[in-house]
Chains A and B, each alone.
Chain A
């Protein structure tokens, strides 16, 4: 269980939460980047693209418009290990 973190995708009209996430791929301004457990705390601008989420059970994909990622997945500090994706628009894509 140690390599999992929480993920929330928050838009003004919807909210998606995931508990046991092992890996997320997000569309950054300079290209796609991945987040795993113990990622450095960072705040990164996002652009239009696809968010791919790997949980302990399955893999989900979302389309998103531009937004921001607030990453707190480093377990060495006392902030809750959580990744927030604040985007204007997010839709789950069909598998």
Chain B
């Protein structure tokens, strides 16, 4: 009988796990949708800033603007975008794995890390990497200011010549079931996009150079914002899939446990009946 009680307790606990994973899946799905909407809204701003820069930049010499200028590369900054929480399948570990590989290629002492999210911050500071800045606990109430704060730190490091190039590693959202792990160069900014520019007369105030120098940090900010959103929606999508699988697995386990439970129950009934029949026969004799 002890076996029966055990089994029914296990069924109960797996059922409650299943309820939790199911709820987490639904929450994640709602969050993906929200992040996607935010991404959609940020697009016109990003597109227009980039277009403006592409329009003005060819008219001035790019060596005047520090954020565009290419330098000899000694030190590299890498921004690693991970999440604060787990339960998202291989979302964080794949980012960390790629980052480690890239760092090894460049040389550990030449790399300065900007870690976003608890997962990468903890991982890299425990292993004696050169973590210059770590940001975490911002995903929950993520705002555009967070993105500007983050980009401010690496822009100033770049301007002080602490680092000569900045790259970012993050998950880009493709579909709900798949993300692309991406490494992109952030600084110096490349504007290789061919913009079909017709030379209309424009007045510039204060001047072309000043305008571009204020536009480029904005462009980097909005880029960072979009990368954060991409990563966030990938994270929630990954969590959604992971939780969906967990729910499925729980269902399987419950099915097996129930089968076992019923077998045990029937066995118990059979033994009981045999005992009664045996007892009755003994009385007749």
Measured CB to CB, the residues of A under 8 A from B are 10-15, 28-30, 40-45, 66-68, 70, 77, 79, 84, 86, 88-89
Nearest Cβ distance between residue B189 and chain A, in whole angstroms?
Answer: 17
23 sample A-B contacts, Cβ–Cβ < 8 Å, listed by A number: A10-B44, A10-B45, A12-B42, A13-B38, A14-B41, A29-B206, A41-B201, A41-B202, A42-B202, A42-B203, A42-B204, A43-B204, A43-B205, A43-B211, A44-B203, A45-B214, A67-B218, A68-B211, A68-B215, A77-B200, A86-B45, A88-B144, A88-B221
Is B49 an interface position by the 8 A CB rule?
yes
Contacts A86-B48, A86-B49 given: A29-B38 contact, CB under 8 Å?
no
Contacts of A70 in B (CB 8 A): 48, 52
Residue of B38, B46, B48, B221 most packed against chain A (CB within 10 A): B48
Count, A-B residue pairs, CB within 8 A: 72
C-alpha gap A15/B48 in the complex (Å): 12
For window 31-82 of B, CB contacts with A under 8 Å fall at 38, 41-42, 44-46, 48-49, 52, 56
- Decide if B200 touches A45 in the complex (CB within 8 Å): no
Shortest distance from the beta carbon of B124 to any chain A beta carbon, whole Å: 29
User: Which residues of chain B in 1-55 are interfacial with respect to chain A, using CB atoms and an 8 Å cutoff?
Assistant: 38, 41-42, 44-46, 48-49, 52
Report the separation of the CA atoms of residues A43 and B200 in the bound assembly, to the nearest whole angstrom.
12
Chain B residues at the A interface, C-beta cutoff of 8 Å = 38, 41-42, 44-46, 48-49, 52, 56, 144, 148, 200-206, 210-211, 214-215, 218, 221-222, 225
Which of chain B's residues has its CB closest to A8's CB? B44
CB distance from B45 to the nearest CB of A (A): 5
Partner of B52, one of A13, A66, A86: A86
Note all chain B residues with C-beta closer than 8 A to A45: 205-206, 210-211, 214
Do the beta carbons of A15 and B44 come within 8 Å of each other? yes
Cα–Cα distance between A3 and B264 once the two chains are bound (Å): 86
Overall SS of chain B's interface: helix
- Within the complex, the shortest CB–CB distance from B229 to chain A, in Å, comes to 10
- Which residues from A are CB-within-8-Å of B144? 12-13, 88-89
Q: How far is the CA of A72 from the CA of B67 in the complex (A)?
A: 28
Measured between beta carbons, the chain A residues less than 8 angstroms from B52 are 43, 68, 70, 86
List A contacts of B46 (CB < 8 A).
Answer: 12
Q: Which of A15, A44, A68, A84 contacts B41 (CB 8 A)?
A: A15
CB pair B203–A43 under 8 Å, yes or no, is: yes
A41 to chain B, nearest CB (A): 5
Beyond A10-B44, A68-B211, is A42–B205 a contact (Cβ under 8 Å)?
Answer: yes
CB distance from B13 to the nearest CB of A (A): 43
Q: Shortest CB–CB separation between residue B41 and chain A, in angstroms?
A: 6
> Across the two chains, which residue of chain B brings its CB closest to A39?
B203
B225 touches A12 (CB 8 A): yes
Which residues on B sit within 8 Å (CB–CB) of A10?
A: 44-45, 48
Instruction: Report B56 CB to chain A, min CB distance, Å.
Output: 7
* A29 pairs with B45, CB closer than 8 A: no
Assembly CA distance A41 to B200 (angstroms) = 8
For B51, give the chain A residue with the smallest CB separation.
A70
- Whole-angstrom distance between the alpha carbons of A41 and B56 in the complex? 13
